Structure formats: structure tokens, C-alpha cells
Amino acid sequence: MNDNIRTSDGEPFAAHAHGVTLAVRLTPKSSRDAIEGIEVGADGRSCVKARVRALPSEGAANDALTRLVAKWIGVPRREVSILSGATSRSKILLVRGDAKELAEKIRGLLVSARSA
């Protein structure tokens, strides 16, 4: 892990050796595909709230989520993958790339989502 990149408490992302990890709470079978900002769970951890129209069967919702996150961050779809939680609503995604650049980009997107 790149130790010189630290995120403050409450952010749903963290530096990773290959980019950043992003905690996501997914709602499938929604009326639209959207990133809705940050949610704090009962355990006090924050995550990005995401909705997709796809059904949670045969990986369709996971596929829709990786497409949505890639588009939201502005990276190629191949750079986003699910590290854990493939069968759960709570997931950890890996976004490959420069951790510092990705962290700044995600932080800015989340600030925009909060003020929207």
C-alpha cells in the first residue's frame, strides 16, 4: 500500500497498492442507474450509495455497478472490479490507477453529490 496517501475518517475510499478501494452499498432493481452520495452504516463506516436498474441475478447488477462507477469516475470500465461482496449489497470495488489522482477525483465527485 502507498503509505503517503491517507484518507480522512468518514471517506468511503482508501489507497490500495493498485489504485483505490471504494466501499459501495448497491440497490439493484431501481428505477434508474445513479450514484447518490455517501451513506453511513450502523457500524459507523461510510460507503457510496449506488442504484442500478439491473436485476441481482447472474452478475447483471455487479456488471451494471462496475460500468456505472467507471463512468462516474471517468476511467475505462476494465479498471473497475469487485474485490469483495459479489453476492452482497455491500461491496468493495478496486479502481486501478494512480491512487492520489483517483482519491482527489472521487473526493471531488462526492462533494458535488452532497451539494446536489
Residue spans of the domains in the chain: they are 13-115
Identify whether the C-beta of residue 67 lies closer than 8 Å to the C-beta of residue 54. Answer: no
CATH class (in words) of the domain with range 13-115:
alpha beta
Using 50, 70 and 90 to split pLDDT, how confident is the model at 5? very low
Query: Could you read off the pLDDT of 62-98 as tens digits, one per residue?
Result: 999 999 999 999 999 999 999 999 999 999 999 999 9
Q: Tell me the percentage of the chain whose pLDDT exceeds 90.
A: 79
